[in-house]
Chains A and B, each alone.
Chain A
């Protein structure tokens, strides 16, 4: 990968640029240090993000939609636990137009359509919750973080939406749109000087220095919990079990990432895949997931299986985790897992949009854009003992289990 430059606009906004020659589309990501962690009501972050496409001082919703689509300019807003990301991708020839629209949306949105957007958002959430898997995971996360915004899932949003209004959303969004809380990452076949000069003219007038968002560290899971969701006609049971693990900056990040690769995220050769799918035929979809955030992290295992298999699947999870807690992995399995992780990084850094994501993401969570280059070094240092240690340290404690299945299969829980 090419190197990158970090520049600063006159008001202090950081702009990270990487030039990739001969690529037809440019990606611009604006990361704002806010996201779900700063919500006072569940859904504030997503709704504020959606409203960036719903009207500015000079353009209404339809005019914005037309201007973007007529120029094949993609703009989307992702709100995650620790940030809001306004992302645009466009053909290089449309750079000026794209940045002009991007600046208008991010600086001049009126949030007038808050009520209407809330209705649309509610409808989409209700549709998403018709997926049993989404419902099971929703219940897991909100029970892992019952008293923290990280647990603001779909079902909590449905509860809080009626209390969210335009004033709340405007305050939420504009209080974090301040230079100290903003990082741009731009990757494409455009010269740095041209980018900086355009950005200076469009974004250097953003002022302010008071970020109202204060975040506390989430509590540990107080006791083992099993959450049951009855669904009469479910063909499969959705089973997901989760633990709290450390944040992205922790020294245990790299061991946990490799532990996750070995247990259930390497693809077709992970232990859960081989033992529960290939050998026992329990599932089509079985895996583990490691989600590190800025102030915490989750580790979870998931399976969708015939309801009659619920206990077998839970036993299978426990057996595979116990093996990693009790026995050292072999040198070969460890090295293969590291190669898997590092090789896949290339896959996840292939496009300009992906590269812009990682450069901006590591910067906004306080680790610096260069952290993307440091991760491989940390991965290479992971030892067999590190794997066993993190398995014991984090997966021996309290957990939350969320199971969705027909009622008759949930009687013994």
Chain B
């Protein structure tokens, strides 16, 4: 008997910047969200975003979201390990996945083929992987003692441990991880997404499989298609292929709130380096607080993005002997609270001066308020960023997936430019006062050993 397809409960059409046709957003009865964005061209991007990442981990399972992401490629009852990659890469596909604090996503970008042949094949394989992963024990590899790794069968556990090792050699990653650890005391964002060798070497398959079944539910998934496709036909095929057999009650997690930071925090490490690495971190608004979030995006451009930015001009371009080799700012957007960063590389004998110069720039936001020219520049840059993203099916898919996952609805992306237009100098000053308080800064520094 043919299974009944999950009904479409809601359909919305959303106008997206620089796309010719409205993006179609469907909510199915089983909770699955489907988004179809039409874009002319030979390529199509297929992705599914799952609302789980390190936010849903504790110390016993730290890194499990990312480990599961690796294991999702290890086959289903229909396709043994490796077949998914082989078939799709033989069509010219780029196949990969990524895990972050709020989400895990899986994507395929490939030429759609004659009569959409390759697109249909990719959708079929992608849906099978998302719904029917079997996480075979032999691909995971045996459990071992991480401190005494006597093991012959080095399988995916070892691949992830090599990824951890790789990150241990990356100075920016070390600086960021230390900062992240410093910024959070309670909230699960405090854990590194990659996890620890102790957990990865010992977590049993059952724990991973249970985690998969718990979080990879239709309500937690958004499937996004971007390309020159027939929306009605595509919707039908996704509903057919994503035929969830089990509909477990969706878990509504509650996360320990992060106590307000009341004073500066500082961590310093040393290693075998020639230069100094530094990050300042501030807690920002929740990603869904669009106005404050955009005000900080604007401020980030003014402070530290591009050669005309304040930090670049004042700290690198104008001084005769700059303390800094590189300096910039950025905002990471998270569902439960963004983080605003300064990232700098500096001459290691100038550590104290480097910190003070950066602090001064934050004080200057009040003393030398943002000018109309700076505001205009930042708005134009953000508008141009949307134009850039609209150039590739992958970036369109990634932007939609990112925003719908961290904001829980599509408006964060669709409304962004409208809200941006309303941002004033006063909004920026208020956001800076609220979030970029030097009494609540966390600072992470990595220095050469002396």
Contact = CB atoms under 8 A, between A and B. Distances in A.
A and B interact: yes
Interface of A: 22-25, 53, 61-62, 64-66, 68-72, 89-91, 116, 119-120, 123-124, 126-127, 129-133, 231-236, 266-269, 274, 277-285, 304-306, 335-337, 339-347, 350-352
Contacts of B93: 267, 343
Contact of A280 (B89, B91, B154, B373): B154
Contacts of B162: 236, 281-285, 304-306
A410 B169 CA distance: 18
A195 B384 CA distance: 21
B420 interface: no
Contacts of B390: 24
Instruction: Output the residue of A274, A340, A352 with the most chain B CB within 10 A.
Output: A340
Nearest 7 pairs of A and B residues by beta carbon: A343-B92, A281-B158, A281-B154, A123-B325, A336-B90, A72-B384, A284-B163
Interface of B: 18, 20, 40-43, 73, 81-82, 85-86, 89-96, 109-111, 141, 153-160, 162-163, 165-166, 168-171, 271-275, 277, 306-309, 312-313, 316-317, 320-322, 324-326, 345, 347, 373, 376-377, 380-381, 383-384, 387-388, 390-393
A62 B317 contact: yes
B154 A342 contact: no
A232 to B, nearest CB: 6
A223 B94 CA distance: 38
Contacts of B18: 24
Chain B residues touching A, majority SS: mixed
B387 A268 contact: no
A62 B345 contact: no
A231 B306 CA distance: 34
B81 to A, nearest CB: 8
Contacts of B111: 343, 346
Given A69-B377, A120-B325, A350 B158 contact: no
A342 B90 CA distance: 10
A23 B169 contact: no
Contact of B160 (A274, A284, A342): A284
A90 to B, nearest CB: 8
Instruction: Output the residue of A61, A123, A283, A335 with the most chain B CB within 10 A.
Output: A123
Instruction: Output the residue of B42, B86, B169, B317 with the most chain A CB within 10 A.
Output: B169
Nearest to A284: B163
Nearest to A1: B42
Contact of A127 (B154, B345, B381, B387): B345
Contacts of A269: 82, 85-86, 89-90
A341 B388 CA distance: 25
Given A24-B387, A266-B89, A269-B85, A127 B43 contact: no
Contact of A69 (B92, B271, B275, B381): B381
Given A22-B20, A70-B377, A131-B171, A281 B156 contact: yes
Given A126-B274, A351-B392, 4 more contacts: A123-B345, A127-B275, A130-B273, A267-B89
A119 B277 CA distance: 18
A72 B380 contact: yes
A267 B307 contact: no
Contacts of B82: 269, 274, 278
Nearest to B382: A72
Contact of A116 (B155, B165, B320): B320
Contacts of B313: 62, 65
Contacts of A345: 92
Nearest to B90: A336
6 contacts: A22-B40, A65-B307, A68-B308, A72-B383, A91-B383, A336-B90
Given A235-B165, A236-B165, A120 B307 contact: no
Contacts of B96: 267-268
B158 A282 contact: yes
Contact of B325 (A124, A231, A282): A124
A236 to B, nearest CB: 5
Nearest to B378: A69
Contact of A285 (B166, B168, B387): B166
Contacts of B73: 268
Nearest to B313: A62
A70 B156 contact: no
A340 B92 contact: yes
A105 to B, nearest CB: 12
A62 B41 CA distance: 40
A342 B89 CA distance: 11
A306 B326 contact: no
B169 A235 contact: yes
A24 B392 CA distance: 12
Given A22-B20, A127-B275, A352-B391, A234 B169 contact: yes
A62 B308 CA distance: 6
Nearest to B112: A346
Contact of A267 (B81, B85, B306, B347): B85
A192 B173 CA distance: 46
A347 B90 CA distance: 14
B166 A71 contact: no
A133 B172 CA distance: 14
A129 B96 CA distance: 28
A336 B165 contact: no
Contacts of A274: 82
A62 B86 CA distance: 51
A306 B381 contact: no
A90 B163 CA distance: 37
A123 B170 contact: no
B275 A233 contact: no
B387 A281 contact: no
B272 A61 contact: no
